[in-house]
Structure 1
Amino acid sequence: MAINKFMSAAEAVALVRDGDTVGLIGGGGGLVEASCIFAALEKRFLETAQPRNLTVVHALGIGDKKTKGMNCFAYEGMVKRVIGGHWVWSPRMQELARDEKIEAYVLPGGVIAQLFREIGAGRPGLLTHVGLGTFVDPRIDGGKMNKSAKEDLVEVVELGGKEYLRYKPFPVNVAIIRGSYADAHGNICMDQEPANLDAYAVALAAHNSGGKVIAQVRTAVDVGTLPARSVRIPGAIVDAVVVDPTQSQSYDIVYDPTISGERRGPVPHEPPQPLSVRQATARRAAEELRDGAVINYGVGVPDAVAKLVAARGDLDRYYQTIEHGTYGGNLLDGMLFGFARNASAMIDAPSQFDFYSGGGLDIAFLGFGEFDQHGNVNASKLGGLTVGPGGFIDIAQNARKVVFCGNFDTKGSKLNTGHGELHVERNGDVSKVVAEVDQITFSGPQAVVRGQEVLYITERAVFRLTKDGVVLEEIAPGVDLQRDILDRMGFKPLMPQPPKVMSGEHFKE
């Protein structure tokens, strides 16, 4: 009897049972998101109240902050537990976590992607240094984001006189993945996708746990027509294939071969960025670049650094990476963070995180929610909401140099810049330079032990982490040191010598 794994979305989601652990792939903006299957699963729950009590596991943020992605799972009763690397794309899921309606856990995005691979290989979990000293360390919070989360997902172990974290394995009952083409045997090609992510690792984990692998693709092809080199997930581990002819590369982009890496092409012209506080901060941060460096950009102000490098025509001076597995190219931002045009290479996400955790990054430009007198940074729980770090911990903990970029304060601040100076007309109501962070996403003391170079660059001041504490090194031209900086901080920084004044060029049109 001929093998035929094609079926409707309704038939495919019927494979998901109450209490299943479901592994998902995807990124914000619709990146490699199986939207058709997600919607069918949501429809089934709303009509039948099944499946119930799911555990949903995902490495990166998935959704549009409204109705798509993880929002399709954000119903009381449908989900019992979420283990997510990044949560901001689903405000409804964040609310369920805040209101103790689900068990909420956060683990580093790279750790989750690599843990799927370890589960699939039948190994005893993921053993790594990533997360030591942060909120995922069981001596702190163990990744538990609310009171309902009670299970210990991680433990401290010692090998060769060194401490490591062991992230415990668990069976994966269902994997929901996406590709571009598939044949009736279930062979999945991802040639038109903007990234590979952890698709194979999630599928492997489910198959070798005795679970089901459900794949969504845009196009069905005849058996034997897919080049072997293009098949990322072999049919041997796939149980169901759903064809969605409306599948697009993102919520807004139907298909662009320069985004999938199939060919190179012109990049849409962007007008020059006008001078702003964000731009001034990015200009100062860009001073930390050096030729030949392997770099990574996070979301927020680091986006502006990436745009600045591209606008200067300097892309070829550095080796640019994204945790999704992409190298080079012109980065997209906002909802399309994780997409790149004209990339030079695309590998799978677990392998990319191997590169990061092994110390392959020279410089990481990352945002911050707040930082404190110990050099700790919080980027994972803000205003009582579960945010999640995505790949932040995996990257920040292992880069040789970390440049945190962000605003000095927020909520109501009014700043004027131009003519080579910065003037503070109104301070924000919420300081981001605090005595103690609410949650440790990056450990300053651990960074000192590792010998990392760490900077905190804001529009009005630049700080550096040392073995003695946080040093104030530079201030913006036009600001008053006492009134605009020291009086607005939650701690007194070290100042072994008077702070230098940043270049006025950063504050000129």
Structure 2
Amino acid sequence: MGMGVSVREAIAKRAAQEIKDGMVVNLGIGIPTLVANYIPSNSNVMFHAENGVLGTGPAPIKGEEDPNLCNAGGIPITIVPGASYFDSTIAFGIIRRGLLDITILGAFEVSENGDLANWIVPGKIVSGMGGAVDLAQKAKKVIVLMNHTDKHGNPKIVPKCMLPLTAEQCVDLIITDMAVIEVTDQGLQLIEVKEPYTVEDVINATGAALHVADFVK
């Protein structure tokens, strides 16, 4: 079962709550791209694209796309006042120097200690790892947005990743269609459960052990 638009939007909307005024944020391809739609227009958030833009804005109106302006996924974008352009070495310098407050990524698997596998499924054709390795290792906070289970119903949150890792122990927060889970030194903490699911549902759909916070929203 694929995710409905509203489910994807709900995940993106919840992720937007993690972004505070004045932050520098990188959004990955897929659901993370939608997060920009939920940032208040008066908020001074600067979105970073690893192909060389700081200050990307919402998608352009159809017919008003600028062929020179796209994000790292090749999708047309707009820019906000104060935006700047640079080459990809500077873009990666910003990432590797640890200047990104948050990176929001998709994932195939996340392990209970926060390992991330999001760039390749062996045997499938991929476009490359892009900036994922650097982003996952260097951003101050790494947030993963994904389905709680894969299309066969198998957990994507697992004791140990089976797929090739993007980075080890990098994920801070996981937001899915079912729950919000924090990765802590004590393991995975369930902090929010989404309607119509129950704590029980989330535990059953999670491959790794979950600590249930005293207060689950």
Q: Hey, what does 1:498 align to over in structure 2?
A: 214
| Equivalent residue runs for 1:236-247 within 5 Å | none
Q: CA deviation at 1:410?
A: 2.8
Q: Hey, what does 1:489 align to over in structure 2?
A: 206
Q: Hey, what does 1:404 align to over in structure 2?
A: 144
Q: Hey, what does 2:78 align to over in structure 1?
A: 341
Q: CA deviation at 1:301?
A: 1.0
Give the TM-score, by structure 1 length.
Answer: 0.37
Q: CA deviation at 1:340?
A: 2.4
Q: Hey, what does 1:313 align to over in structure 2?
A: 41
Residues 112 and 183, structure 2, Cα contact 8 Å, conserved in 1? no
Q: Hey, what does 1:266 align to over in structure 2?
A: none
Q: Hey, what does 2:179 align to over in structure 1?
A: 461
Give the TM-score, by structure 2 length.
Answer: 0.82
The AA in structure 2 aligned to 1:299 is: I
Bigger relative contact order, structure 1 or 2, given CA contacts below 8 A and separation 6+?
2
The AA in structure 2 aligned to 1:319 is: M
The AA in structure 2 aligned to 1:457 is: I
Residues 434, 383 of structure 1: alpha-carbon distance in 2 compared, 3 angstrom cutoff? farther
Matched, 1:430 2:162: no
Residues 71 and 77, structure 2, Cα contact 8 Å, conserved in 1? no
Q: Hey, what does 1:478 align to over in structure 2?
A: 196
Task: Give the secondary structure class of the aligned counterpart of 2:147.
Answer: coil
Q: Percent identity?
A: 29
State the alpha-carbon separation in 2 of the partners of residues 284 and 337 from structure 1: 25
The AA in structure 2 aligned to 1:313 is: S
Residues 23 and 101, structure 2, Cα contact 8 Å, conserved in 1? yes
Two-structure CA RMSD over aligned residues (Å): 2.4
Q: Deviations over 1:114-154 (max 9, x none)?
A: xxxxxxxxxxxxxxxxxxxxxxxxxxxxxxxxxxxxxxxxx
Q: CA deviation at 1:307?
A: 2.5
Q: Deviations over 1:357-388 (max 9, x none)?
A: 01111111111111112211111222542534
Q: CA deviation at 1:334?
A: 9.6
Q: Hey, what does 1:329 align to over in structure 2?
A: 56
Matched, 1:443 2:168: yes
Residues 406, 478 of structure 1: alpha-carbon distance in 2 compared, 3 angstrom cutoff? same
Residues 441, 499 of structure 1: alpha-carbon distance in 2 compared, 3 angstrom cutoff? farther
Residues 472 and 499, structure 1, Cα contact 8 Å, conserved in 2? no
The AA in structure 1 aligned to 2:210 is: P
Match of 1:350 among 77, 89, 107: 89
Task: Give the unaligned 5+ runs of structure 1.
Answer: 1-273, 412-427, 448-452, 502-509
Residues 384, 436 of structure 1: alpha-carbon distance in 2 compared, 3 angstrom cutoff? farther
State the alpha-carbon separation in 2 of the partners of residues 401 and 335 from structure 1: 20
Residues 331 and 338, structure 1, Cα contact 8 Å, conserved in 2? no
Higher normalized helix content (fraction of residues): 1
Residues 114 and 168, structure 2, Cα contact 8 Å, conserved in 1? yes
Task: Give the secondary structure class of the aligned counterpart of 1:440.
Answer: coil
Q: Hey, what does 1:218 align to over in structure 2?
A: none
State the alpha-carbon separation in 1 of the partners of residues 16 and 195 from structure 2: 18
The AA in structure 2 aligned to 1:305 is: V
Task: Give the secondary structure class of the aligned counterpart of 2:138.
Answer: coil
| Equivalent residue runs for 1:297-312 within 5 Å | 297-309=27-39, 312=40
The AA in structure 2 aligned to 1:459 is: D
Residues 51 and 72, structure 2, Cα contact 8 Å, conserved in 1? no
The AA in structure 1 aligned to 2:145 is: C
Q: Deviations over 1:456-504 (max 9, x none)?
A: 111211111111222222111321221x211122121223x33522xxx
Task: Give the secondary structure class of the aligned counterpart of 2:214.
Answer: coil
Match of 1:371 among 110, 129, 141: 110
State the alpha-carbon separation in 2 of the partners of residues 317 and 439 from structure 1: 36
